[in-house]
Amino acid sequence: MSYAIAMTEKKLSHHFSKADVFSFYDDQHRQVAVYKNPILGKAGCAGKQLLIDLLKERQCHTVIVRKVGEKTLARLLNAGFKVVQGNTRHSIEQMLNDAYRNENLLIDASQGVKKNSCNCNQS
């Protein structure tokens, strides 16, 4: 099992798509990899599939976010990822423990932030 945390400046990013990096952790909570956010610098939804592909490639099971848009949340859920809402005041260890216990699960796209800036199709 692998966890990914959307991070900016070594803490949980306020918004998933704007994170600087994605840090990956194993089930013993050891950091195993850090990847630059492939969405950065891409207009609209052009990079979102690249991010989904990265999460799949790293065999990620759970993604920890603070805020995520409805469409992006729908993409993550449809791709089979568990999505957990973290708290920026919590340590990485606490966020990973919460994710392990399935606390603060986001299970429906309507739990994401409503945003009408992108008109791309869902896939």
Write the pLDDT tens digit of every residue in 24-81: 999 999 999 999 999 888 766 667 888 999 999 999 999 999 999 999 999 999 999 9
Q: Domain residues for 26?
A: 2-111
Distances (CA, A) of 78 to 10, 12, 82, 108: 28, 23, 10, 10
Q: Is residue 123 part of a domain?
A: no
70-97 pLDDT, tens per residue? 999 999 999 999 999 999 999 999 999 9
**Residues 60, 42: Cα–Cα separation, whole Å:** 23
Domain-embedded: residue 121: no
Asked whether residue 98 is domain-assigned, the answer is yes
Question: Residue 22 is inside which H or E element, if any?
Answer: strand 21-26
Q: Is residue 116 part of a domain?
A: no
Q: Is residue 119 part of a domain?
A: no
Amino acid, single-letter form, for residue 55: L
User: What's the CATH code of the domain at 15?
Assistant: 3.30.420.130
pTM of the model: 0.89
pLDDT of residue 120: 54
Please report the pLDDT score of residue 47 as a whole number.
Answer: 77
Measured between alpha carbons, how far is 64 from 4 in angstroms, rounded to an integer?
6
- Count of domains forming the chain: 1
